[in-house]
Amino acid sequence: MKELKDFKEEIHNCSKCGMCQSVCPVYKATGSDCAVSKGQFIMLKGVINGDLKMTKTINRYLSLCLKCGKCSEYCPSGIDVVDIISVAKYEYFKTHFLEKIISLIQKYVVFGLFPHLISFFRPKIKSKKLDKKVIYFGGCSSKYTGNNSVIKLLNNIGIEVITPDFTCCGIPFFVRGDIKNFQDYMNKYIKILKHYDIKEVVTTCASCEKTIKDYIKWCEEKDKEFLSGVNVRNIFEYLRENNAKLRLKKPVKVTYHRPCNQSNFDDIKYILTSTENLEYIEADNYDKCCGLNGIFKPKEYPIISKITNFKRNSIISTGAKYVLTSCFGCEIALNSYSLWKYKTKNLIEFLAENLESSI
């Protein structure tokens, strides 16, 4: 397991240029140097050198980071900030009982009992048997919303869908600094993937997609070769590649929130602009963070509300009835502060519910 000291060189590579400050939503909301990667790296350097202890105050600054990764996109030193901050949080996590209790609730209730209970009452359809096969990594959202829309859409373009029992990809644990539980999920799924002789994995959630692609960075040496042969793709890439022709039953005006973890926005935009009867209005800040990592921290509400108000207003100003997205976490966040001014839907669910013909 990687430790904070393993990132000493990367942290040292920070040139203090301040580019991260110009894009960090938390820095914009707080103006605090300690809330953005540049300042956090100065603190973490002190922790690695033994000059500072990983205190509650440092952990609070690390927790303010929304893990949006915007700073890394602009960092001239190419530093993966989210990885470093998550591993740094593990230094605090491993010695704090309350953090472990929260993780247990997350593991056994939020991503264990609840999703399984809900999915038990959902009608399920079976995939057709077809020559081309993919494994669907549904993540926790598929337990709440079902796999049916994915099966219908992919069967329609000639692809059979295998649906093993995947629950959480592990990202909620990773960003809280619970690297141990994250790796437990990852190792379980690597075992499941090895069991099937299928190297194509499809996801509908941008965060699951990024996390599974990143498994190769965190897995044991013996699994690296296997994972390098696994092709993880978002369902929208398949739909675009297969020239899926989509038409809604009636005209609807929508906007779209691009999750921070989404790498394939061109494919999404293709679906949004080519689907008949779908009017897509791009919001000014369509690619700015939804604030999810902060909205569940009531103590930080004054900071987070600045970020979420900004996001809500840009959605409302489009006049769209729906804001669509493709990350279950973003969906929860956008919904939580909508004030009933718009409806939030997962893009794939929205399509499945509104397409004209039986897809």
CA dist 128 and 44 (Å) reads: 52
- The CB-of-62 to ligand SF4 minimum distance in angstroms stands at 9
**Nearest residue (CB) to ligand SF4, 66 versus 201:** 66
Per CB under 6 A, the list member of 71, 150, 171, 283 interacting with ligand SF4 is 71
Q: Going by C-beta distance under 8 Å and a sequence separation of 6 or more, which residues neighbour residue 248?
A: 275, 276, 277, 278, 354, 355, 356
Classify the phi-psi angles of 4: left when phi > 0, otherwise alpha if psi is within -120 to 50, otherwise beta: alpha
**3-state SS class at 255:** strand
Minimum distance of ligand SF4 from residue 261's CB (angstroms): 11
Residue 356: strand, helix, or coil = coil
State which of residues 44, 67, 181, 322 lies at the interface with ligand SF4 (CB under 6 A).
Answer: 67
Is residue 175 within the footprint of ligand SF4 (CB under 6 A)?
A: no
Q: Which of residues 12-41 bind ligand SF4 (CB under 6 A)?
A: 14-20, 23-26, 36-38
String marking each residue 84-123 x if it binds ligand SF4 according to CB under 6 A: ----------------------------------------
Comparing CB distances to ligand SF4, the nearer of 68 and 347 is 68
- Give the range of 62-70, 219-227, 241-249, 315-323 binding ligand SF4 by CB under 6 A: 62-70
- The phi-psi region of residue 44 (left if phi > 0; otherwise alpha if psi is between -120 and 50; otherwise beta) is alpha
Q: In the complex with ligand SF4, which residue's Cβ is closer, 71 or 347?
A: 71
Least distance from ligand SF4 to the Cβ atom of residue 171, Å: 14
Q: What is the DSSP string of 296-351?
A: T-GGGHHHHHHHHHHHHHHHHTTT-SEEEES-HHHHHHHHHT-TTSSEEEEHHHHH
Task: Output the smallest distance, CB 10 to ligand SF4, in A.
Answer: 9
CA distances from residue 258 to 57, 84, 276, 289 in whole angstroms, order as listed: 32, 24, 21, 8
For ligand SF4, give the closer residue by CB, 23 or 316: 23
User: Is 68 a binder of ligand SF4 (CB under 6 A)?
Assistant: yes
Which of 29, 30, 47, 70 contacts ligand SF4 by CB under 6 A? 70
Question: Kind of pairing, strands 322-325 and 231-234?
Answer: unpaired
Tokens of 99: 């953090």
**Cβ at position 40, least distance to ligand SF4 in Å:** 7
Q: Count residues contacting ligand SF4 (CB under 6 A)?
A: 27
When asked if residue 81 is in the footprint of ligand SF4 (CB under 6 A), the reply is: yes
Token pair of 130, please? 């077809």
188-247: contacts with ligand SF4 (CB under 6 A): none
Q: Which one of the spans 59-67, 131-139, 165-173, 211-219 is the region binding ligand SF4 (CB under 6 A)?
A: 59-67
Rank residues 15 and 309 by Cβ distance to ligand SF4 and give the closer one: 15
57 binds ligand SF4 (CB under 6 A): no
Closest CA to 235 of 141, 120, 123: 141
DSSP state of 113: I
How many CA atoms does the CB half-sphere of 233 hold within 13 Å? Answer: 15
**Smaller CB separation from ligand SF4, 13 or 156:** 13
Q: Does 303 bind ligand SF4 (CB under 6 A)?
A: no
Give me the DSSP letters along 176-236. Answer: TT-HHHHHHHHHHHHHHHHHSS--EEEES-HHHHHHHHHHHHHS-HHHHHHHHT-EEEEHH
H-helix or E-strand spanning residue 136: strand 132-137
Applying CB under 6 A, which residues contact ligand SF4? 14-20, 23-26, 36-38, 65-71, 75-77, 79, 81-82
